[in-house]
Amino acid sequence: MGARLRVFLTQKQDKTLFNLRTAKVPQKVKDRAEVIRLNANGWYVEKIATHFNWASQTVRAVLHKWEEFGIESLWEKPGRGVKAKWKEEDIEFLSECLKKEPRTYNSFQLADKLEKERSIKLSPDRLRRVLKKKGSFGKELVQVIKENKTPNNEK
């Protein structure tokens, strides 16, 4: 068994980590802050790992990152995950097309228009999800919803 891993906190650091419990931050950040506080209060790595139902190596990684980077180590680094193929300007372009042109588009037509005019290749399903997340584009979405609703025959 190696040497015991232990961090020491100043009063200011301890107060900051304590205040993170009630702050509007991701749960992972709160858990990491609590891991550091527990270790500083004398808890062993194995006991903390059992308390959080984590692997002891995860607790050690949190403590090592704390020693190396300090408070910044609690948050995830930016830039994780797959980057979006589209930009906000592309969605604004589609919005302007929908407003200017009298016709309505389906997701296949919008994906085709985006690929031809902006060289952005998105599947119709992905484009539909992006547009839905960004909000409706006025009458076009309402019109599609009305046409696709089944009539109520219970009257």
User: Could you report the per-residue pLDDT of 48-59, keeping only the tens digit for each?
Assistant: 999 999 999 999
pLDDT band with cut points at 50, 70 and 90 for residue 90:
confident
Residues 132 and 94 in one domain: yes
* DSSP label at residue 83: P
Q: Which of 32, 46, 38 has its CA nearest to residue 1?
A: 46
Final residue before a domain boundary, out of 51, 74, 97: 74
Residues 24 and 69 in one domain: yes
Does the pLDDT value for residue 154 go beyond 60? no
20 is in which domain, residue-wise? 11-74
Does the pLDDT value for residue 10 go beyond 90? no
Residues 70 and 102 in one domain: no
How many domains does the structure of the chain reveal?
2
Residues 69 and 110 in one domain: no
- Report d(CA 16, CA 144) in Å as an integer: 51
In a domain, 153, yes or no: no
- Entry field: residues in the chain: 155
Instruction: Output 139 or 44, whichever has higher pLDDT.
Output: 44
pLDDT band with cut points at 50, 70 and 90 for residue 146:
low
Convert the pLDDT of each residue in 24-80 to its tens digit: 888 999 999 999 999 999 899 999 999 999 999 999 999 999 999 988 888 887 777
